[in-house]
Structure 1
Amino acid sequence: MSEHRTEVDGWQALWCLDYHCIRMMLVRNLFDSEPLMSAASWATAPDLVQMRERFPELSRLWDAVRHEYWTQSLSPQEHS
């Protein structure tokens, strides 16, 4: 499971994909030492919908995560 990082307006989200579900592992303000949310494992991590409901004031961050997810999902896969 690969980890992704999205930053908007001084906020950072670390997220990963659980099949087609975006799991939020960490959300923090880049200027604070304490995270807003941190999950111990991807199995217990809230999904993007839950985070959007809990923290609607961060809608620009959630929109950016969703945009990165779709950009990555729709781009051609690289083959090694």
Structure 2
Amino acid sequence: MDDVRRTEVDGLRVTWGLVQHHLIAIVAVHDASDASPVVAFSPGNYPDLAQARELLPELARLWDAVRHEFWAKLIPPGPLGAGRRAWA
């Protein structure tokens, strides 16, 4: 895994990473207060973000946060100025 990250929402912390710089792999979800596992996946069977949403739809806010962080890393925000366009 190229880049391991952690995202926390609603008292849960997801460990996820980028594979080949553009694919999300979900490693595990833990309770943020005591690090107890909620769900963990084995190497080679890490679900991508869409699969994680299907497996654990009740964690939608957590998956949304991962998606947001992923896109912020992939396309960092920058100032709009001459030569740049905002797409609606």
In structure 1, list runs of 5 or more residues that go unmatched. none
In structure 2, list runs of 5 or more residues that go unmatched. 78-88
SS in 2 for 1:36: strand
Q: Which residue of 2 aligns with 1:3?
A: 4
Match of 2:31 among 29, 32, 44: 29
> Which deviations, in whole Å up to 9, do the C-alpha atoms of 1:2-57 show, x marking residues without a partner?
1100000001100001122210011122245541221232x321111111011111
CA RMSD of aligned residues (A): 1.7
Aligned length: 75
Output the TM-score relative to the length of structure 1. Answer: 0.81
1:47 aligns with 2:51: no
Q: Which residue of 1 aligns with 2:62?
A: 61
Following superposition, which runs of at least 4 residues in structure 1 exceed 3 angstroms of deviation?
31-34
SS in 1 for 2:37: coil
Q: Residues 5 and 33 (structure 1 numbering): CA distance in 2 closer, same or farther, change over 3 Å?
A: closer
Larger radius of gyration: 2
Output the TM-score relative to the length of structure 2. Answer: 0.75
Identity fraction in percent? 44
Higher-helix-fraction structure: 1
